[in-house]
Amino acid sequence: MTTKNHLAEAVVIERTFNAPIARVWKALTDVEDMRRWYFDLKEFKPEVGFEFEFTVEHEGFKYSHLCRIAEVVPQKKLAYTWRYKGYEGDSLVTFELLADGDKTRLKLTHVGLETFPKLPAFARKKFEGGWTEIIGSELKQFVEGKA
């Protein structure tokens, strides 16, 4: 029997949207669009070094997310660090886009979850469920015009 640190594996969510790549990119990088499907961001600029934050309430606790843009390749890739104010750990969220005819394939990868505290709120299954809902439902409906 081999033991494996399940947390050290990246969370990867892949979806294909019935929307052109420019529409999906705008949804990922335009603060007004992001507020409609993602989180209530005060500001967002797809520029390396830009820092943004947002707060999410979950099961009676508020979690301040602190993020910093790490990489931007227009209409192809967006990556940012993701950590929590007051908690140890740093992770990286990457959105990669690929045109598939008139559709867009999106691959979200979230690495570094094992650096977060070993608390139920930071469990891998929470990230898997959260990203599945955000990408597979919220973003999908938004870019396909069903929101």
CATH code for position 39: 3.30.530.20
HSE-CB for 140 with a 13 A CA cutoff: 15
pLDDT tens by residue, 96-123? 999 999 999 999 999 999 999 999 889 9
d(C-alpha 142, C-alpha 63), whole Å: 25
Higher pLDDT, 31 or 120: 31
Say yes or no to pLDDT of 2 above 70: no
Domain count, the chain: 1
Give a yes or no: residue 2 inside a domain. Answer: no
Whether the pTM exceeds 0.75: the reply is yes
Q: Of all helices (H) and strands (E), which one includes residue 110?
A: strand 103-111
Confirm whether 1 is domain-assigned: no
